[in-house]
Amino acid sequence: MENDVAIELEAMLEKAQPLFTTESCCIYKVPHQFRQSNEDAYTPVLVSIGPLHHGNSRLVTMEGHKQVYCQHFIQRSEASLTDLMSCVQQLEPQIRACYSEKIDLTVDELVKVIFIDCCFVIELFLGDEWVINDVIPSKSWMAYRVMQDLILLENQVPFFVFEKIYNLAFASRLNGAEFPSFMRLAFGIFKIHNHQGVSPPSNGRTIAHFTDLLRYLYLPPSHRIPSRNPGSLVLGHSASKLVEAGVKFSVNKPWHGIGILDLEFEHGILKIPHIEVDDFTEVRLRNIVALEQCHYPDDHYITDYVSFLAGLVNRDKDKDVLINAGIIESIVSGNDTSVAKLFSDVDKNTIVSNVNDSYLKICDDLKAYYKHPCHTKMATLRRDYFTTPWKTAASIAGIVLLLLTFVQTICSILQV
């Protein structure tokens, strides 16, 4: 009996395979500890891209639209449908290896899903007038929602697949005004997030997919990326507490070239780049943080940013400090009470191995500033006696009266 069990176990182990290889995998099922706090932030609402959400009954309606887009792509492609499909078939093993989950689709099924989804996205990005009567461009809310679905970590196709299909379809027309490279086309589509004006990557740097592209646009240019050191970001005091110690808040250099990660603290002023908080800010941040946790465990710059703001803004009066300083602009539907907990919610359950060295220095400098007794006393003086014109006038009048009384007393003593 024992020999039979051993033989059975040995046969089972021989068939065992890892779910994914570290080198190839770049598209992940978001871990449960992140999903449980907001499942909807990782789940497409209108359109599935790739195999992880394919077949979801809520997304079936869009399949017909994707097929229409695919049909038009084939019609204007220089390559035949056979050549295009062969291209995807050859890439199928590489595509499958990019996913952290086992894909329960046959080779032919996966090839068809990937091909249709890629054609749909490429046509959507090219945005020709022929689809003016199609439901997506004719409904602005739907076009916006589709674009939000395209940045979800679980809703991705590897970037190299788009490039291969695109290059094969438009080989003779590439790099012209009508057909730039797919990389430049994608950069144009996501330009609303490119506040720093960063260029497409070079020197061997690749983009894994659209979630990775969004992260790339938020990172500083390679020559400005801060070093990292072991440690954790412990701010110690929230925004309202820092104000009590005399710290001032300001928008950091509101001109082109400054990204959301560019924080500075000097001369008692904490400068933070402007950020719009809308209904999809949490979705974007959550998916980039999930990507960093899974794929960039030693270079989680966006996670550091979220952790810093989570320590800074953890109650409504902290949020008010940043809103009044023009740092946060809340355009959340209804009211902005959720702004106070947005960053702390996104930061929950994250694991860090090291942190942004410039943020560590800011934390240390803020703690030192807060502890300095002169700063606290001056802040108390300003808060209690100089917060309004009337208080300022009354305080000045009181000081003048006190000085006059002192002078009068001295004169009386001298006369005696």
- pTM, full prediction: 0.85
Condensed to tens digits (0 to 9), the pLDDT of residues 266-293 reads 989 999 999 988 888 999 999 999 999 9
What is the C-alpha separation between 416 and 412, in angstroms, rounded? Answer: 7
Q: Considering only 16-30, 164-178, 202-216, 299-313, which range has the smallest mean pLDDT?
A: 16-30
Q: Is the pLDDT of residue 313 over 60?
A: yes
* Domain residue spans of the chain: 21-217, 223-373, 388-416
Cα dihedral 369, 370, 372, 377, rounded to 10, equals 120
Q: Is the pLDDT of residue 132 over 50?
A: no
Condensed to tens digits (0 to 9), the pLDDT of residues 365-386 reads 999 998 876 655 555 555 554 4
Cβ atoms 132, 138 nearer than 8 A:
yes
pLDDT computed for residue 141 by the predictor: 73
Task: Look at the alpha carbons of 323, 316, 279, 300 in this order and tell me if their dihedral is positive or negative.
Answer: positive
Element (H, E) at 270: strand 269-272
Cβ atoms 118, 72 nearer than 8 A:
no
